[in-house]
Amino acid sequence: MLGTKNGVHWHTGDEHNEIGHISEERLNRRLMVEKRMKKLELVAKEIPIEDKLKVYGDANSENLVVSWGSPKGAIIEAIEMLKQEGFNLVSCKCG
């Protein structure tokens, strides 16, 4: 798991196709970027400004985690674990 002390993180790719398989093909990459941009356009129109950004943790922290989408629970859990180890972080979930 990323962030695990002495752990190894294996990154297989940055993009996946419509059914979730890793794919670095140019056409697939372009299509997936276009799909994400359409989602952002919808977010910009449909979500009220006060719901577009949520801050979790110490807002005065020198460390920041910014995310978009579904990893909120895992990030908040990681922040709590790191807090127990003496780190001070804040998380901003956008969108």
Interval 26-49: pLDDT, tens? 999 899 899 989 998 998 899 888
Q: What is the mean pLDDT of residues 9-32?
A: 82
Alpha helices (H) along 47-91: 72-84
Rounded mean pLDDT, 60-81: 82
95: pLDDT strictly greater than 60: no
Question: Which tokens sit at 46?
Answer: 């449909």
Backbone torsion region of residue 45, taken as left when φ is above 0, otherwise alpha when ψ lies between -120 and 50, otherwise beta: alpha
Res 41: pLDDT: 92
Distance CA 13, CA 81 (A): 27
Q: What is residue 52's predicted lDDT score, i.e. its pLDDT?
A: 78
CA atoms lying within 13 Å on the CB side of residue 71: 10
Residue whose structure tokens are 């449909």: 46
> Residue 82: is its pLDDT beyond 80?
yes
The pLDDT score that the predictor gives to residue 27 is: 94
More confident residue, 33 or 2: 33
Pick from 81, 91, 88, 94: nearest CA to 55: 91
Q: What is the mean pLDDT of residues 19-30?
A: 87
